[in-house]
Structures are given as C-alpha cells and as structure tokens.
Amino acid sequence: MELVGIAKRKSAAAVAEAVRAGLRRVGESYVQEAARKLPELEALLAESGTAPPRRHFVGRLQRNKARDALRLFDVIESVDRLDLALELERRAATTSRTLDALLQVDLAGEPSKGGVAPGELARLFDACGKLERLRVRGLMAIPPASDDPERSRPWFAKLRELRDALGAGGAELRELSMGMSADFEIAIEEGATWVRVGTALFGPREAA
C-alpha cells in the first residue's frame, strides 16, 4: 500500500517538506493549480537533491485540459468516459509517451463526483484496452460522505470485486485507489493499494 498525499491548496514548500520526509506520490485536483505549483515544487526538491515524487491527478478532468494534464502528471486516476480516454491517447501519441490511468467508478450513483457507472465499467475497460498509450492499471472510487468510516466498507469491497471481475479475464489490474483521511484504515483492510490522504497529512486546507 502506498500513500498519495493530496496537496490541493497546499503550498509547494509544504509539499516539498513531506516529500523530503519520504512521501513518494503527490496528488492534485486542479490542473491550473498544479501548473503553478509543480514547477516550484521541483525546484525546491532539486535544491536539496531530493528525487521528485510521482504525480497523480485525482480530480474531474475536462477534455480541454488533457494536454496540460499529460504534461504535468504521471498518473490520471479519474478517467471515467471514453472521449476523455481517447483524448489522452491522442495527446500521448504526439509526445511518444505512455500514461498510467485508473478508471473512476461512481459506485453510489453520485454524478457530482464523476465516475463511470458499474454497469458500464466493463465496456469502458474493454475500449481502453485497445489503446496503445493509455495503460489502465486499476480502479478508483470516492464513496458517499459519512461520519462513520465503517459505512465506506461496502463501497470499498464493491470496488475490489469489480477490479477482480475485470482481472478474471486476464487483465493485469493491481491498483485500487480508495480511502481518504477519514476512512483510509477501512480502505486498507479492504485491499487499497493507494490511499489518498490530504487533511491527515497536511492539516486543514488553506483558503482558495
């Protein structure tokens, strides 16, 4: 299991401190914020001779931001529709690189969070499997908000079941990105390979 430190509205200096302390993956939710912050982060880390982290995009991604996202990130965790996957594929082909991605699943029918419906997941996965530059490594989900972390458990278990069902066809799907500051321990118990932690790592978010 690996920690993805969610750095939304956190300064480059705060993120650099966490990376120097051992954080290996950093997540951002907004392309424009990342475009401002990540170059500064790289410069700060270079000053101390610290290797840069892997960079994850975890927010809703619009097609018109695909080019910038490809430039800024190593992993896109929120691919939830074919037109986005195709745009990322097209952009990746122009730079001769490959891009790791997760398919985001809307487990509870909450369109405001993004994600493909569970019943459409296999179709999207099969379509993405025909792409050369976009490599689907696993699944991501955000369960409904709750004051009780245990209420997240059935959703985490469901995501694991969906991942395993796709893998039964021979696909190599290792990653499960699930769990945040309030429920990451439950997510780990249910098989998370990446947990997305912001507040518990960096403290309350700064004002936008």
pLDDT in tens, 37-47: 999 999 999 99
Confidence of residue 167 (pLDDT cuts 50, 70, 90): confident
Distances (CA, A) of 22 to 25, 26, 203: 9, 11, 17
CATH number of 139's domain: 3.20.20.10
- 174: three-class secondary structure by DSSP: coil
- 105: three-class secondary structure by DSSP: strand
Mean pLDDT of 8-23: 97
- Select from 10, 1, 52 the least CA-distant residue to 200: 10
- Lowest-confidence region among 127-136, 164-173, 188-197: 164-173
Q: Which residue has the higher pLDDT, 168 or 84?
A: 84
For residue 206, pLDDT beyond 70: no
Confidence of residue 172 (pLDDT cuts 50, 70, 90): confident
The answer to whether residue 208 sits within a structural domain is no
The answer to whether residue 22 sits within a structural domain is yes
The answer to whether residue 132 sits within a structural domain is yes
Q: What is the pLDDT of residue 168?
A: 82
The answer to whether residue 207 sits within a structural domain is no
Provide the domain limits for residue 192: 2-202
Largest CA distance in the chain: 48
Phi/psi of residue 15, nearest 5 degrees: -70, -40
Residues whose CB is less than 8 angstroms from the CB of residue 39 and which lie 6 or more positions away in sequence, other chains included? none
In the numeric block, the tokens 């891009």 are attached to 99
Domain count, the chain: 1
Q: What is the pTM for the complete model shown?
A: 0.95
